[in-house]
Amino acid sequence: MNLGELALDDHNRSELYVIISLPAFGLIVTAEPYFAVTEPSDVVVLDNYITSSSKGRAVQTAKYQPLPQGHYIANVRPAVIKRTGLATFNPLELNQAQNAVRIARLAGAEEYARESLAKAECLLRQAEKLQSLDPDDFDTKSVSATARAAVEAAEEARWTAVMNQAGQSVARVRVRAVSE
């Protein structure tokens, strides 16, 4: 369950308040390319564990199945990946939206999830347009909200593309098995 995002402030600090109702709780923190990932990657930066002072109490470590290494990077030749840098003058959400759309494209969303990708690209263009306006003419919250919607749409496109590709692979295997 994705409980939230830790965005660091100028002092490299972050807070996250979450209320959950679960019989057992384990926590991992992963470094992800954007906030709306549907599955954790294998880049775990923090994990809970049982200490000797936990004796006698019901403590459980987090159990999870991370995605394979490089899953959010995409399985493409390095020459195909255009190096991108973060624009420090953009809000974090806008940088994440640009990255999420790029990852969705690399995952094959142009072919396997056109509608979702088109929605993400439209939202990204809207956020970029808002960001390009004079600061007196827009509200930074609207840039962030539009960019966050673009991230969510891009993750949906990436996920749909991955699932559609997997479905086609299964169908090809079945056809081969029947024809043999």
Say yes or no: 57 and 123 in one domain: no
Say yes or no: 150 and 164 in one domain: yes
Say yes or no: 9 and 50 in one domain: yes
User: Per residue of the chain (180 residues), what is the pLDDT tens digit?
Assistant: 778 888 778 888 888 888 888 777 777 888 888 888 887 777 888 887 666 665 555 555 556 666 665 555 555 555 555 555 555 678 889 999 999 999 999 999 999 999 999 999 999 999 999 998 877 776 788 999 999 999 999 999 999 998 898 877 655 665 566 666
- What pLDDT sits at residue 91? 86
> What's the total number of domains in the chain?
2
Domain membership of residue 101 as a residue range:
78-179
Strands 44-47 vs 28-30: parallel, antiparallel or unpaired: antiparallel
Say yes or no: 171 and 109 in one domain: yes
Judge whether 132 and 90 are in contact, CB under 8 Å.
Answer: no
The closest of 73, 92, 90 to 82, measured between CA atoms, is 73
Q: Enumerate the β-bridge partners of residue 46.
A: 29
Q: Examine the fold and report which residue of 72, 91, 119 is the final residue of a domain before the chain moves on.
A: 72
Q: Enumerate the β-bridge partners of residue 30.
A: 44
Q: Examine the fold and report which residue of 46, 72, 98 is the final residue of a domain before the chain moves on.
A: 72
Say yes or no: 14 and 57 in one domain: yes
- What pLDDT sits at residue 100? 93
Indicate yes or no: pTM above 0.75. no
Say yes or no: 84 and 169 in one domain: yes
Say yes or no: 4 and 92 in one domain: no
Say yes or no: 174 and 95 in one domain: yes
